[in-house]
Structures are given as C-alpha cells and as structure tokens.
C-alpha cells in the first residue's frame, strides 16, 4: 500500500459496537470484567485504551514498523528509551540535538549513572571512535534543529548492527512522509507527535515505533509501569492529524522550497540552512534518505546582531513568534534567545548557531503571502 493511502486508513477500523467510522474517544479509566480475570483485553486505561490502541497501530503502519507506542509527550517517549539502560551504560548522541533531549540526558539521567557522549554524528567515524564496551545505544536526530545537519542513518545502522548496539532516531523534523528510519536499519524511531503528526499545534504527544517484539515488550512494560500515557482525546487528535499528513507535508515541502530559494536570493540574508540546496553539506545524504526536503529553514542576516534579528522577529504578521514547529500555521523563532538560550553563548557560536540565526517552520498558507510577510519584515 502506498503512503498516502496508509496515512488515511492506518489503524482505523469501524467501531465494533456501533460501526462509527472514526475511532471513538474512549474516555474511561477502567473496564467492567465479566468475572475476575475474564475481560475483553482491556483492564485499566494506563495499560490499555482502545483509542490509544488505534493510534499505536497507526504509528506502526506509517513508519513501516511492527509496533507503535504512544506517550504523553515526545520527551516522555525519549525517557522510556533511556529507561531501557542501567547505570554504567553509555549512550552516543549528537552534539546538536533538540534542547529538551539534551536537558533530559544531562540533568535527569546523568545522575543515575548513565553516561552520554556528544559527538558530531554527521561524520559517522566520530560515532565509531566513541564506542566502548559499555556503549548500548546510539541516539541520532536528522535533520537537526536548528542547523539542519544531516546524518546518514544507513551508515550509522551498519556500525550499530556490527557492534550489537541499539540505534534510535528522532524522526520529528522529517516525519514519516519524508524519511523512514526503520527501513534504513534503525531499531527505534521516536517522534514528537506534537509537531507534524498532530499538525495543528493543539496537542502534546510522543511516539515510539519498532520491529523487535522483545524490545516492544520492554518498552510497553516501561510505558505502563512509569505511566506517561496520553489521554484518549489527545490520541483522537493525533489520529485525525495523521490522516492529512500527506497533503500537509506536500504543501510544507512546496512552500519550504519557494521560501528557501527566495531567502537565498535576498541581499540582506547572509546564509540559508535548508537540506534541499546542493551546496548544503548534507545534500547527498538527504537526497538519498529523504523523499523531499521539508519546510524547516534557518537563516542568518548579513547584519549579524541580536537587535536586527529581534527587529525582524517582531515585524512578521503571518509568521507567529513562537517555539514549536510542524503545524499548519507558519512560525518564526530566535534560537539564541528562545529554544537554545540555555546553551552558553560561546558554546552556541562554536556550534555554528549565531546571534542572528532565525528559524522558520513554514506552514501551508499561500507561499506568496508568506514571502510578502518576510519581505516586509526583513525590509
Ligand atoms: C519538540 C521536539 C521534541 C520533544 O517533544 P515534546 O512533544 O515537546 O515533548 C523532541 N525532538 C524534537 C526534534 C522536537 O522538535
């Protein structure tokens, strides 16, 4: 079955009791049993909920996986993966990943004795040379936030398979429409479903997808034991979001390309970060592992000052100044003062994240309107 069809029908079965075409929101905490231990497969809603089950089936299908698990947020999904580990275990991860992932690793899990090594994963040799006998997991993100760095998933999977390590990929930026890491050899996919899967900036949720049954059982055990499960209403919203992922992503990609090219030709713009440009260092890998290049773009102004960036950021009308991404509406963000403010300035600049860097989550409005909005703001 082709992706566009899968996105509409994934996990959707008519409701057995009424025939309702849309999976109902089973707003219940428990299920009545016929006799002790005799039930319909549902006992208590932290462990099972029919709306969540429909969504988890959909998660598996859209990433070409066997299993899906839903969590109350993207970071709760990441948290569950790290809970597979024990004190002394080592994780190799990217040096420019999502700030919340970095915070979870350094501020929560380090104190439990899990060791995190941050390397530039765009060169897989760096991963290989960081491996020790204690390494258990490699955690990558591609494209990265906000510099759109690309890591070769297949090349990393070759290394992790040969060393019997787990490979987890944060696929939030690409979405299953652009990239399917399980097909490229990853063991676990993580999504912040808050972003493109939900697609309408109205829900916080996370997802894990995998193929291995033993791994699924371990992660399900963590999901029900730690309890970071999403409510049925949130599951319904993400199920609904997934149905339009195909048409939305197509529009995000089309608008993204137009805006990236327009920015590149603007004399006030110094540099545009978008993996669809042939001079982007990750272009060849992106072309190989992604179906298109998406609607996430970062750019720097020629006038590289926080003041000038602030002026532009406060002057757009269609692009709303906000954190997050992946919704139908366009957002504009200033990583240096917003999403990446917790990184010391020196460190941030060393990693290539300048004071004037502006990140766009290009929505699905009319591209001409969006360009006019940016043109007025950049001035
Ligand atoms: C937002 C985001 C997360 C965290 O997800 P939440 O749903 O906010 O908990 C993780 N990774 C990436 C790339 C993100 O953009």
* Cα Rg, the chain, nearest whole Å: 21
Mutation test of ligand 1: which of 139, 145, 194, 325 has the most ligand atoms closer than 8 Å to its C-beta? 194
Domain boundaries, the chain: 3-243, 245-378
Give the other-Cβ count within 10 Å of 245's Cβ: 25
φ, ψ of residue 191 to 5 degrees: the values are -130, 140
| pLDDT score at 298 | 96
pLDDT tens per residue across span 347-368: 788 888 888 899 999 999 999 9
pLDDT tens per residue across span 17-76: 899 999 999 999 999 999 998 999 999 999 999 999 999 999 999 999 999 999 999 999
What is each CA distance from 218 to 45, 66, 230, in whole angstroms? 18, 15, 18
- Active-site residue flag, 311: no
Q: Is the CB of 169 under 6 A from ligand 1?
A: no
pTM score, whole prediction: 0.96
What is each CA distance from 97 to 93, 113, 119, 200, in whole angstroms? 8, 21, 10, 23
Mutation test of ligand 1: which of 70, 71, 73, 74 has the most ligand atoms closer than 8 Å to its C-beta? 74
Q: Of these residues, 6, 52, 195, 257, which one is catalytic?
A: 195
Band of pLDDT at residue 194, cut at 50, 70 and 90: very high
Q: Is the CB of 194 under 6 A from ligand 1?
A: yes
Fold of 245-378: 3.90.1150
Nearest-CA residue for atom 4 of ligand 1: 74
Q: Is 350 exposed, middle or buried (0-12, 13-18, 19+ CB in 10 A)?
A: exposed
| pLDDT score at 373 | 98
Q: Which residues pair with 360 in a beta bridge?
A: 297, 332
Nearest-CA residue for atom 5 of ligand 1: 74
Helix (H, G, I), strand (E, B) or coil at 245: helix
Band of pLDDT at residue 336, cut at 50, 70 and 90: confident
pLDDT tens per residue across span 225-280: 999 999 999 999 999 999 999 999 999 999 999 999 999 999 999 999 999 999 99
Q: How far is the CA of 267 from the centre of ligand 1 (A)?
A: 33
Q: Is the CB of 73 under 6 A from ligand 1?
A: yes
Question: Percentage of the chain surpassing pLDDT 90?
Answer: 88
Give me the residue label for tokens 């020790």.
132
Helix (H, G, I), strand (E, B) or coil at 156: helix
- Select from 3.20.20.150, 3.40.50.2000, 3.40.640.10, 3.40.50.10490 the CATH code of 3-243: 3.40.640.10
CB contact at 8 A, 123 and 134: no
Which segments of the chain are extended strands (E)? 67-71, 90-94, 115-119, 135-141, 166-170, 188-192, 206-210, 269-273, 296-301, 320-321, 331-333, 358-361
- Active-site residue flag, 46: yes
Q: Can you say whether the dihedral through the CA atoms of 26, 32, 34, 40 is positive or negative?
A: positive
Q: Of the candidates 59, 24, 31, which has an alpha carbon nearest to the alpha carbon of residue 45?
A: 31
Instruction: Report the nearest atom of ligand 1 relative to the CA of 75.
Output: 9
Measured distance CA(230)–CA(81) in Å, rounded: 17
- Active-site residue flag, 98: yes
pLDDT tens per residue across span 277-293: 999 999 999 999 999 99
Specify the pairing of strand 67-71 against strand 206-210. Answer: antiparallel
Band of pLDDT at residue 202, cut at 50, 70 and 90: very high
Helix (H, G, I), strand (E, B) or coil at 299: strand
CB contact at 8 A, 179 and 289: yes
């Amino acid at each position: 079955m082709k992706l566009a069809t899968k996105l509409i029908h994934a996990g959707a079965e008519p409701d057995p009791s009424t025939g309702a075409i849309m999976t109902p929101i089973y707003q219940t905490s428990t299920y009545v049993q016929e006799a002790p231990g005799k039930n319909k497969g549902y006992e208590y809603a932290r462990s099972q909920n029919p709306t969540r089950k429909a969504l988890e089936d959909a998660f598996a299908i859209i990433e070409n996986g066997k299993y899906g698990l839903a969590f109350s947020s993207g970071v709760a999904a990441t948290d569950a993966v790290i809970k597979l580990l024990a004190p002394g275990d080592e994780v190799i991860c990217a040096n420019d990943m999502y700030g919340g992932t970095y915070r979870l690793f350094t501020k929560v899990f380090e104190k439990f004795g899990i060791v995190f090594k941050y390397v530039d994963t765009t060169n897989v040799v760096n991963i290989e040379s960081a491996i020790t006998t204690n390494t258990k997991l490699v955690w990558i993100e591609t494209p990265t936030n906000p510099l759109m760095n690309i890591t070769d998933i297949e090349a990393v999977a070759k290394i992790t398979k040969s060393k019997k390590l787990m490979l987890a990929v944060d696929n939030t930026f690409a979405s299953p429409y652009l990239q399917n890491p399980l097909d490229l050899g990853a063991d676990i996919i993580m999504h912040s479903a808050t972003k493109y899967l939900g697609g309408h900036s109205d829900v916080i949720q996370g997802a894990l997808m995998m193929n291995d049954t033993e791994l699924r059982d371990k992660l399900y055990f963590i999901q029900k034991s730690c309890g970071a499960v999403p409510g049925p209403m949130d599951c319904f919203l993400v199920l609904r979001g997934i149905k339009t992922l195909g048409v939305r992503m197509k529009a995000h990609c089309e608008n993204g390309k137009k805006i990236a090219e327009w920015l590149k030709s603007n004399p006030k713009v110094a540099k545009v970060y978008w993996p669809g440009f042939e001079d982007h260092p990750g272009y060849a890998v992106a072309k190989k592992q992604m179906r298109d290049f998406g609607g996430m773009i970062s750019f720097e102004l020629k006038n590289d000052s926080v003041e000038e960036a602030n002026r532009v950021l406060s002057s757009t009308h269609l692009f709303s100044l906000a954190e997050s991404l992946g919704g139908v509406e366009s957002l504009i963000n200033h990583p240096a003062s917003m999403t990446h403010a917790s990184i010391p300035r020196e460190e941030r600049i060393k990693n290539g994240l300048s004071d004037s860097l502006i990140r766009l989550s290009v929505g699905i409005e009319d591209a001409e309107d969006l360009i006019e909005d940016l043109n007025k703001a950049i001035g």
